[in-house]
Each structure stands twice: as structure tokens, then as C-alpha cells.
């Protein structure tokens, strides 16, 4: 009987800890989330673009922000630089090779907040068949109830990746070896 009481108390404790972190689905259906990129064009200007199709989820509890986690899956074929011919080239073998690598993925391994709103996300990013550990500087933008009876939390994050680290060797010139990535997400609590 004593063992049953201890097991019951332990199960209750675990359930309350799991319930304290809220799970969110990233609001891509309502277009309240974006994955943007920019890369220098020959060192003369910036080329901007985005990925139009991705999905993901995260969990977050303001009382225990360092217990948070995030997962993303990006449809690499949805790359959009606002120029059809360039996008065709970016989808091809010189860059993303979407016929062979249709998805890119990110999964956090650690999230550390320095204060109530700013921190760093570390995780594994898979692109072009290569997985590397990357770090995002993040900022919590806000959280609260929405007008439709839901609850939302939003973040932004920024990082820079080296194309050659992911086996993308196309020569764009010495000023264009890295891509800046911006992640802007708003999650709806499940």
C-alpha cells in the first residue's frame, strides 16, 4: 500500500510539472510566423527572401523559460526571393537541391534565457543533408490572450550560417559566404 501511495504521489508530481509548460503550435496558417533570410549580393547589396511553407511547435513557461523547446520543419522548395528564375536556381543542385533534400529541420537542444525576454537557443539544424549545431539569439516579444479566445506567445531569433558548412559550395564571391536567418514566430497555445 505504501508503494502505491509513493507511486501515485510521484505520478501526480510529474503530471503537474508537465502541465506547467504550455505547448504551442506555430501559427503558419494565419501567416503570423516567418522564416526570412538575407545574403549579400556580390558585396554590393542585400538579397532578401523567405521560406513560405514550414511548420513547427514549441513549449514555453514564463516561470521556467529554460525548460523550453522548439522544433521546425521547413519545405525548402518554398524558397521565395521574389524572382522566379533565381528561385528556380536556388531550388536546383547548385544550392538547396530540393529534389534530393526537400526538408530542412531544426530541433533545439538547449534554451537559456539571460533575463525575462532575451536568451539563446542552441540546436541541430539540418540543411542540404548536413546537420550542424547552431545558436540563435532570441527575444520574447510578448504573450497574452487573443481576440478569438486563444492564448499566444511570440519570439524572434537571428543567426548566421556558413553555406559551405552545409555542402553548398557555389561561388557567390567572398562577401556572400554566409546567410543571415531570421525566425519570427507566434505560437497558439494548444
pLDDT digits (tens, 9 = 90+) for 126-174: 999 999 999 999 999 999 999 999 999 999 999 999 999 999 999 988 9
Range 45-51, long-range pairs (CB < 8 A, 24+ positions): 47/81, 48/81, 48/82, 49/79, 49/80, 49/81, 49/82, 49/90, 50/79, 50/80, 51/75, 51/76, 51/78, 51/79, 51/80
CA dist 56 and 173 (Å) reads 34
What pLDDT score was predicted for residue 21?
A: 79
What pLDDT score was predicted for residue 94?
A: 96
What b/e string do you get for 15-46 counting C-beta neighbours within 10 Å, with b at 16 or more?
Answer: eeeeeebbebebbbeeebbbbebbbbeeeeee
CA dist 182 and 190 (Å) reads 24
CA dist 70 and 25 (Å) reads 10
Task: Record the cell numbers describing residue 53, joined without a space.
Answer: 511553407
What pLDDT score was predicted for residue 156?
A: 98
The span from the first CA to the last CA of the chain, in angstroms, equals 37
Q: Is the pTM of this model over 0.75?
A: yes
The segments of the chain whose pLDDT lies below 70 read 1-20
Amino acid at each position: 500500500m505504501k508503494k502505491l501511495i509513493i507511486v501515485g504521489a510521484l505520478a501526480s508530481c510529474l503530471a503537474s510539472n508537465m502541465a506547467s509548460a504550455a505547448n504551442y503550435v506555430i501559427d503558419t496558417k494565419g501567416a503570423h510566423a516567418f522564416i526570412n533570410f538575407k545574403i549579400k549580393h556580390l558585396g554590393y547589396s542585400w538579397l532578401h527572401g523567405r521560406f513560405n511553407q514550414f511548420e513547427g511547435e514549441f513549449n514555453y513557461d514564463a516561470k521556467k523559460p529554460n525548460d523550453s523547446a522548439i522544433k521546425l520543419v521547413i519545405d525548402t522548395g518554398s524558397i521565395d526571393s521574389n524572382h522566379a528564375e533565381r528561385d528556380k536556381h536556388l531550388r536546383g543542385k547548385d544550392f538547396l537541391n530540393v529534389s534530393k533534400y526537400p526538408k530542412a529541420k531544426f530541433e533545439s537542444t538547449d534554451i537559456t534565457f539571460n533575463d525575462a525576454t532575451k536568451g539563446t537557443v542552441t540546436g541541430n539544424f539540418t540543411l542540404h543533408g548536413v546537420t550542424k549545431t547552431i545558436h540563435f539569439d532570441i527575444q520574447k516579444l510578448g504573450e497574452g490572450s487573443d481576440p478569438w479566445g486563444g492564448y499566444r506567445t511570440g519570439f524572434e531569433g537571428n543567426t548566421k550560417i556558413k553555406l559551405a558548412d552545409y555542402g553548398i559550395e557555389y561561388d557567390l564571391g567572398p562577401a556572400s559566404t554566409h546567410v543571415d536567418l531570421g525566425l519570427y514566430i507566434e505560437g497558439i497555445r494548444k
